[in-house]
Structure 1
């Protein structure tokens, strides 16, 4: 049986841990509100752009721009994985890594190989545990994701697809729904997926100003940048929500552990007091 000093030391240690988890929860909650506001503001624009580009891909000849062209070969696909640089956020990074590993292992589209471009240190570590080595890793950009950062990554992706180094590009990230709900989403970023044809709606040929080539050359790469930026914001809000939930659970578990240890401490102390009383009474009886 543990002595009183050991139990008291353990209670003090758990209380210190509880203070840390409570502080981390408060920090995550403050960052979560900011990240939530950012993704709610960015979603409408990203969704409308995706809708417009899907409609455009349905009506335009794929030959007018490389990003609309679907490569016939199934050589190498790029998987852009969005994770986090910090841990202590539950299964946030684990779920992304599992979905990525499943995508590569199942290989339903029949590609010869996959290239992994990972955003976040923890994503690389989780993938490595599953036997997948990241070809390129971007670190220290998830804490404060900006459109400029997303644009640089988007330019690299577009350049690789136009040059034929990649025959498809997939985006894997945690989609944000609420502070306690995040789900992994796998989107095909390139080639741009056309909208489904509707027989009831007659096709409308878009009018371009100043010229079709100039408009497509501007809007198609920007679409890729916007979708990557949206994924970064989705992932940031999901990360802070997951960390807030994880720290809340940790604080509750620490509280339960403190209660159990306190009960154990009182029982041991009572047993010690009882033993001392018995010894005193026995000693007095023997003297008489």
Structure 2
């Protein structure tokens, strides 16, 4: 009886854990679909904005200083090598470029970068869904432009995981700055604001939307990895629950059989055959 109670308690615990895993899987699937759906509009907007800036001659030229990088990691667990992979790629790029400003979005990736000996100049909390993207990237974009100009940096790149299928991703780097273009005399005239103001705002917007595109891709990779991991955990738990249920049923049958035997034995003792 005691063994049956212990198995029943373990079975209840596994079922509760299974419910939590199913909830995690559903949430990851929701965020995965949302980020994938938002990615194409972001790409289209960035492409259109880039064409406009190219025609107006808007630019933020390269300086003579160091090269900056920003590494985009994640805050979620249960994502396999998501953070270790992007941190390793960021450390490799930092070593190739030499000393320079290094930013990191995401505490987990920041921890891995420090273990790899990469000092961080700025660190940000990574959004776990689309809701937190705007506030985070507006701050990051402003810091990048400010440091790029103040430190006369020659370039700024972002390192992030690129989605290549559910649970499949690889780290890549994308250039953010400099922005160089050539003015076209046939471009539409700028109205209601100076050309310098339009160019300044346009460069900032291009930097921001490029980072939005990269971060959406990274979030899709992160939630895809988590979705795959939760599916695997769900299968393992279901298998474990099935085996435990069969074991519990066997223990209960054994207990019932033993009780019947004891009852029969007691009956024979009390009422012996003549």
The answer as to 2:77 corresponding to 1:87 is: yes
Note the C-alpha offset of 1:176: 3.1
State the distance in 1 between where 2:112 and 2:244 align. 34
State the distance in 1 between where 2:4 and 2:115 align. 42
State the distance in 1 between where 2:9 and 2:88 align. 39
Equivalent residue runs for 1:219-230 within 5 Å? 219-230=202-213
Q: Is the 8 A contact 1:35 1:236 kept in 2?
A: yes
Cα 1:21–1:142 change in 2 (3 A) is closer
Note the C-alpha offset of 1:19: 0.6
Cα 1:220–1:258 change in 2 (3 A) is same
SS at match of 2:120: coil
From 257, 266, 271, the equivalent of 2:240 is: 257
Q: Is the 8 A contact 1:85 1:121 kept in 2?
A: yes
State the distance in 2 between where 1:205 and 1:156 align. 27
Q: Is the 8 A contact 2:157 2:174 kept in 1?
A: yes
Cα 1:278–1:51 change in 2 (3 A) is farther
Q: TM-score under structure 1 normalisation?
A: 0.72
In the alignment, structure 1 segments of 5+ residues that lack a partner are: 195-203
Q: Is the 8 A contact 2:74 2:222 kept in 1?
A: yes
SS at match of 2:41: helix
Note the C-alpha offset of 1:16: 1.0
Note the C-alpha offset of 1:229: 1.9
State the distance in 2 between where 1:127 and 1:93 align. 10
Note the C-alpha offset of 1:255: 0.8
State the distance in 2 between where 1:216 and 1:190 align. 14
The answer as to 2:197 corresponding to 1:206 is: no
State the distance in 2 between where 1:148 and 1:139 align. 11
**Structure 1 residues 213-263: Cα deviation after superposition (integer angstroms, max 9, x where no partner):** 555434333221221122222223333332222222211111122223334
**Structure 1 residues 186-218: Cα deviation after superposition (integer angstroms, max 9, x where no partner):** 112223488xxxxxxxxx972253487555434
Q: Is the 8 A contact 1:150 1:226 kept in 2?
A: no
In the alignment, structure 2 segments of 5+ residues that lack a partner are: none
Q: Is the 8 A contact 2:157 2:176 kept in 1?
A: yes
State the distance in 2 between where 1:51 and 1:124 align. 35
1:167 alignment partner in structure 2: 154
State the distance in 2 between where 1:259 and 1:131 align. 47
Cα 1:142–1:264 change in 2 (3 A) is closer
Q: Is the 8 A contact 1:83 1:122 kept in 2?
A: yes
State the distance in 1 between where 2:117 and 2:239 align. 38
Aligned length: 262
From 68, 85, 88, the equivalent of 1:78 is: 68
2:140 alignment partner in structure 1: 153
Q: TM-score under structure 2 normalisation?
A: 0.75
Note the C-alpha offset of 1:100: 1.7
The answer as to 2:121 corresponding to 1:135 is: yes
Note the C-alpha offset of 1:39: 1.6
From 163, 167, 190, the equivalent of 1:176 is: 163
Superposition CA RMSD, Å: 3.7
1:197 alignment partner in structure 2: none
